[in-house]
Chain A
């Protein structure tokens, strides 16, 4: 259980984190989401007492971080994978951490085995690939077998196998009753792992909700219609009080209408339909709309400006620059 209360951090005149209050509960994976520069890492650093808050407090099981004598046994954190001495072997990097918290050295071998680094335990960590570095960082987080685990962008730069491994590891750790707090700027990634979401933008809390509620509230559902008798269809829809928006290729989109009522309507008026489908905006899009006003670093190019939700730099998921891209299967958030 981690409690944030009015947490604020200022760097000069810039507010990185702005009166953030929330709770991170045990037994579930809590996703911490926000665009680049939203203040995610700063918040995590304040939780670990690396940065001093300008105001506000963080409590870990009711205590301040500095009051924890053996913090590794309460909280394990992966902040960035390269926070190790490259000239030291993986084993020694972990051993010195274990010793400072009175963790038996046998535990070092255990966590190395857990993350699959036993074979390179005696190798200097500077020769490690990004994926191996990330695994070493996770090993250090698991060292004290803590009840709370915190990962900052754990899948950054990992290959699909590594991403899959981290996802399953987080779920397994949460299933054991631990508190898992993981940050990401990718909604699609969070949809696969998180049970609860905390969304921030420019340091402010935008949402603190369960994943299911977030999906329910934020993914716009609409019906998509295509017909060779476009004019007639539009008239019919207008008469019945539906507002149709025409998009590229003569496709009509109708907000808040079910395919059932539209199909029956078309049948009644004998309009030929070539397409009738129910659509949901992707979670990525919902997230982008939510944070649109608070994105710090916009990419400005003519192509981006044509996109409905303001496009923001690369790394937002694959479909960020395709106008009107939708998830045809309808995202249920728990796929795969």
Chain B
């Protein structure tokens, strides 16, 4: 205690409605910004963040540079007709698994450890807690992905030369990819908040990424052609490809459309998560 225990005045059984203890710590209204500061402390003080993002950067760099170097050694001329930026695709696809994991863990680890009860006692507004988590996680995932994607693209261009890419191509291949993975991570965060179980949520999200393509593989029947094409076009790997301008099909989302689709999906799931959290017992 900062001050020795001195009863201010003896409380009778009918002491007024207000407590008699006044804290010397001033009450300043807390805002979303304070919740963001809190979430930033949380995300930077656990090892999972360094691990998942570290593995993602390592994967993007090794896969990206590996393909570039192999191609350079394979044919002297490189790939004169193909946009070189598209080579970043494989690394980003693998890296997306790491972003999904971190997104799920951002909320899932709170449920796993019981920290969520402490968190919600400190900040009873479920919406504010999820919003703060989403802001901190998305900013971090976006920054790391964008920077890594830009470095990989620059190195690949240096190694292979290739056809000059437009400014829009560069923007989609760096900032676009960064935003897309951040949105995919937000979707994972929303799923994590709804299922409250890290392993379960990661499994669901990996299914969401891979299952449409796997299902499409087995749709030989003519009557299923439409479904098959839809599954391929809107599968997450194909949409990441669309950001690089290389898709498996001619139709389907192109340019910045995949990003818009993913942002809408993530916003819907996060909104649903807030609604569920508001009604559910912790």
Complex CA distance for A145 and B3, rounded to whole angstroms: 12
A80 touches B (CB below 8 Å): yes
Q: Output the least CB separation between B27 and chain A (Å).
A: 5
Cβ-based interface call for B226 (8 A): no
Given contacts A82-B113, A96-B42, contact A175 B23 (CB under 8 A): no
Tell me the A42-88 residues at the B interface (CB within 8 Å). 45, 48-52, 61-62, 65-66, 68-73, 77, 79-80, 82-88
Q: Does B109 contact A (CB under 8 A)?
A: yes
- Report whether A86 and B21 are in contact in the complex, using a CB–CB cutoff of 8 Å: no
Q: Are A27 and B34 in contact (CB-based, < 8 A)? A: no
Dominant SS at the A interface?
loop
Residue B166 interfacial (CB < 8 Å): no
Shortest B280–chain A CB gap in Å is: 8
Q: How far is the CA of A21 from the CA of B5 in the complex (A)?
A: 31
Nearest opposing residue in chain A for B48, CB measure: A87
| Chain A residues, Cβ within 8 Å of B8 | 176-177
What are the residues of chain B within 8 A of A69 when measuring CB–CB? 29-30
Total interface residues on A, CB under 8 Å, equals 60
A19 adjacent to chain B (CB < 8 Å): no
Minimum CB–CB distance from A64 to chain B (whole Å) comes to 9
> B38 touches which one: A51, A71, A100, A110 (CB < 8 A)?
A100
Q: Of B12-20, B72-80, B90-98, B206-214, which stretch is located at the interface?
A: B12-20
Is the Cβ of B1 less than 8 Å from the Cβ of A172?
Answer: yes
Which residues of chain A come closer than 8 Å to B19, judged between CB atoms? 1, 26-27, 61, 147-148, 177-179
Given contact pairs A50-B120, A71-B121, A87-B48, A176 touches B282 in the complex (Cβ within 8 A)? no
Q: Is the C-beta of A95 less than 8 angstroms from some C-beta in chain B?
A: yes
Q: B122 touching A100 by the CB < 8 A rule?
A: yes
Complex interface: chain B residues within 8 A of A51 (CB):
281-282
**Distance of A68 Cα from B125 Cα, bound (Å):** 9
Indicate if A104 sits at the interface (CB-CB under 8 A): yes
Residues from chain B with a CB closer than 8 A to the CB of A175 are 5-7
Does A146 make an interface contact (CB < 8 A)? yes
Nearest B residue to A141 by beta-carbon distance? B121
Question: How does the 8 Å CB contact mask read for B123-152 relative to A, with 1 for contact and 0 for none?
Answer: 111000000000000000000000000000
**Contact count band on B:** 35 or more
Contact between B41 and A95 (Cβ–Cβ < 8 Å)? yes
- Whether A101 contacts B30 in the complex (CB less than 8 A), given A25-B13, A65-B124, A147-B23, comes out as yes
- B39 is an interface residue with CB less than 8 A from chain A: yes
Say yes or no: is A103 at the interface (Cβ < 8 Å to chain B): yes
Contact between B6 and A50, CB atoms less than 8 A apart: no
Q: How does the 8 Å CB contact mask read for A259-271 relative to B, with 1 for contact and 0 for none?
A: 0000000000000
Q: Which of A28, A52, A84, A92 makes the CB contact (< 8 A) with B118?
A: A84
- Is there contact, CB below 8 Å, between B118 and A97? yes
Return A146 CB to nearest CB of chain B, in Å: 7
A114 CB within 8 Å of chain B: yes
Is the Cβ of A50 less than 8 Å from the Cβ of B45?
Answer: no
Verify if B2 is at the interface (C-beta below 8 Å from A): yes
Chain A min CB distance to B172 (Å): 36
B281 touches A145 (CB 8 A): no
**Segment 104-126 of B: residues with Cβ below 8 Å from A:** 109-110, 113-115, 117-125
B34 touches A102 (CB 8 A): yes
* Chain A residues in 8 Å Cβ range of B223: none
- Chain B positions 13 through 54: 1 when the CB is less than 8 Å from some CB of chain A, otherwise 0: 101011111111101111000110111011001111000000
Residue pair B121, A77 in contact (C-beta under 8 Å): yes
Chain B min CB distance to A15 (Å):
15
- Contact mask for chain A residues 87-119; partner B; CB cutoff 8 A; 1 contact, 0 none: 111001101110111111001001000100000
Docked complex Cα distance between A107 and B17 (Å): 28
Q: Which residues of A contact B122 (CB under 8 A)?
A: 71-72, 97, 100-101
Q: Is A140 in the interface zone, CB < 8 Å from B?
A: yes
Docked CA distance A300–B185 (Å) = 53
Instruction: Find out whether the CB atom of B24 lies under 8 angstroms from the CB atom of A96.
Output: no
Q: B residues within 8 A CB of A72?
A: 121-122
A residues within 8 A CB of B5? 171-173, 175-176
**Does A154 make an interface contact (CB < 8 A)?**
no
**A-B pairs, 10 with minimum CB distance:** A27-B11, A177-B20, A100-B38, A145-B23, A147-B19, A92-B45, A26-B19, A99-B38, A177-B21, A83-B114
Q: What are 7 contact pairs spanning A and B, CB under 8 A?
A: A80-B114, A83-B117, A96-B42, A102-B30, A144-B23, A173-B1, A175-B6
Question: With A26-B18, A85-B42, A100-B34 given, can you name 7 additional A-B contacts, CB distance below 8 Å?
Answer: A26-B11, A83-B117, A85-B46, A88-B45, A88-B46, A99-B34, A176-B3
